[in-house]
Structure 1
Amino acid sequence: MSSLNIFNELAEHVMLHIFASREVIHPLGWVENKQHVDYDLWYLHEGKIEIVIHDQVHLASGGDLVLFSPKVAYTARNLDASCRFTYTHFDFGLGNHHRILEHFELAGVIGSSLVQEEIRLFLETYEQYKREAPMSGIRLKGCLTILIAKIIECYGHGEYRGGFTSHAPRRKRSANLETLQPVFDFIHERLHQPLRIGELAELAGMSEKYFINYFKQALGVTPGLYIYQLKMNHARELLYSKRYTIQQIAGMLGYPDPFSFSKSFKKYYKVPPSQFVL
């Protein structure tokens, strides 16, 4: 199982906040030295920009996206008579982990051909947002979520790798998902069985207490909540298929009896499984 699957499995825990979105024009000679406290996404309408990060030079031209990670220092300069871009400051989190994107090499210059349709939707909505059209703020958030999801998808398919962090020292946290990969695989292969946190910790080579903290730091949720989310996702799909009884589904998800499953399901979805699909 790819670690990128966590975005599907924990989709309900994904949070995106837009702090600012503006369009700016800079003349020839413009230079900016900065590091942002949040993620920053630029869409370059026209012009050519040089970006220097960790002594590496990157070029962006009209039509490109530029994604900056938080707290990464850069120097940007305009190489044309003028440059015009729309920037968006935002945070993207999973559970309590507000830097989940840092696990992947996403920051960099992204060619528009990879995300052409998603850029179009975002820019159309941004024009409405500038005019303060009704619901445009919510639509802008939705379009940015779609755009980020497409970038992650391209990364997962090997179509894109960001260049801004490839020469940076690896952060300690960035290894967390790689270390937990055997745990993810183990959970998926044995979702039909009762799973003990202790055996997952042993698989990761950690004490149970340390494993719980490590897991939560990596994903923003506890291992127990992660397993619960997976079980409820599978339960929903099995119920929608209308091929299995509640007793069969309970057994397929490692519950000792239908009552325990129904109680867990109702706690999550607010309705018992018998009334979920009518």
Structure 2
Amino acid sequence: MNKQTTDMGILNELSELITLRMKSYLALEHDGSWIEHRSHIDYDLWFIQDGTIAITINGIEHQAHAGDVVFFYPNIPYKATTADKQGCRFTYAHFDFEIGKQQRILNDFPLSGVVPHELVRAEVEWFTHACARASRSKTSMPGNLLYLKACLTAVVARIIELHGEGVYTGAFVNGSPTTAASGSLELLQPVFQHIDQHLHQPIRMNELAALIGISDKYFITSFKKALGITPGQYIYQIRMNRARDYLNEKKYTIQQIAALLGYPDPFTFSKAFKKYYQVAPSRFE
């Protein structure tokens, strides 16, 4: 399994813990003389509707055309200008994307850049239509903003998926340091692999820390900074994911699943499962 696939797999494993908070959105129009120098404090997507925008980051110019999506990471300075006299029109959305206390989890992946319209056409249409409906409402109809947030989530998820498939890699900060987690998902890859391969056994913190050559105490701190949750919470989440999958397969008894996931007996497993899913494994559907 290559590093890129492994990295994307983390977001799949922890999808239930991910929170996307849409902070603001607005349609903007600029004439041919527009120029902007700034950086954003959060994640920012621009949905280009008309014209061409030239975006310069670290001395490199990138162009975004109608239909493209521009993905900015927090605290990355840029210059944006209209690339022709006709001006430009786009809608922006500011948002946070976090797991636990880690609000910059996406910074560990090279997603920031210009996403070509042909790769996200359907998702962009959903978002722009939802944005237009929400903007027309003097007082938003029930569900409008929730649907808009769902459409924004679909756009971000599609960009993540494209990177996981090897179809898209952002060029804005490729190879440059970002203000991501103090820990590193790349550093933790041996830990993720070890956990996945040893779920049937008790997993100790000193074993995991030794895999990357740091102390137990620093390992727990580093893991939480990188991923937003503790190693124990991560292991619990992975076990509950696997338990759900095993139950859906309907091939294993509760006792067998408990053994496959490293629980000493079916009672301990059932208690952990019910705490997470609010239903006993014997009644899970």
Please point out which of 44, 48, 62 is paired with 1:44.
48
1:200 partnered with 2:208: yes
Q: What is the TM-score with the length of structure 2 in the denominator?
A: 0.94
Compare 167-176 and 76-85 and name the one that shifted more. 167-176
Please point out which of 87, 97, 114 is paired with 1:109.
114
After superposition, give the CA deviation of every residue in 1:180-208 in whole Å (9 maximum; x if it has no partner): 00111111111111111110011111111
1:129 match: 134
Show structure 1 runs of 5+ residues with no match: none
In 1, the alpha carbon distance for the partners of 2:165 and 2:236 equals: 28
Counterpart contact for 2:183–2:225, Cα < 8 Å: no
In 2, the alpha carbon distance for the partners of 1:269 and 1:190 equals: 23
Show structure 2 runs of 5+ residues with no match: none
After superposition, give the CA deviation of every residue in 1:40-79 in whole Å (9 maximum; x if it has no partner): 1001101011111111111111111101111111110112
The count of corresponding residues between Structure 1 and Structure 2 is 277
Cα deviation, residue 6, structure 1: 1.3
SS of 1:115's partner is helix
Q: Superposition pairs for residues 71-150 of structure 1, below 5 Å?
A: 71-80=75-84, 81-131=86-136, 132-150=140-158
In 2, the alpha carbon distance for the partners of 1:236 and 1:175 equals: 29
2:57 match: 53
CA RMSD, Structure 1 to Structure 2 (Å): 1.4
Q: 1:83 and 1:18, CA in 2 relative to 1: closer, same or farther beyond 3 A?
A: same
2:221 match: 213
Where in structure 1 do 4 or more consecutive aligned residues deviate above 4 Å? none
SS of 2:218's partner is helix
1:247 partnered with 2:255: yes
Cα deviation, residue 169, structure 1: 3.7
Q: 1:172 and 1:146, CA in 2 relative to 1: closer, same or farther beyond 3 A?
A: closer
2:73 match: 69
1:4 match: 8
Counterpart contact for 1:193–1:253, Cα < 8 Å: yes
Please point out which of 159, 164, 174 is paired with 1:166.
174
In 2, the alpha carbon distance for the partners of 1:271 and 1:63 equals: 45
In 1, the alpha carbon distance for the partners of 2:32 and 2:126 equals: 30
In 1, the alpha carbon distance for the partners of 2:141 and 2:180 equals: 43
In 2, the alpha carbon distance for the partners of 1:240 and 1:70 equals: 40
Q: 1:154 and 1:175, CA in 2 relative to 1: closer, same or farther beyond 3 A?
A: farther
After superposition, give the CA deviation of every residue in 1:116-157 in whole Å (9 maximum; x if it has no partner): 111111112111211233311101111111110110111111
Which residue identity is paired with 1:6? I
Counterpart contact for 1:54–1:168, Cα < 8 Å: no
Using the aligned pairs only, state the percent identity.
49
Please point out which of 157, 179, 187 is paired with 1:179.
187
Which residue identity is paired with 1:138? L
1:265 match: 273
In 2, the alpha carbon distance for the partners of 1:37 and 1:184 equals: 30
Counterpart contact for 2:102–2:181, Cα < 8 Å: no
Which residue identity is paired with 1:155? H
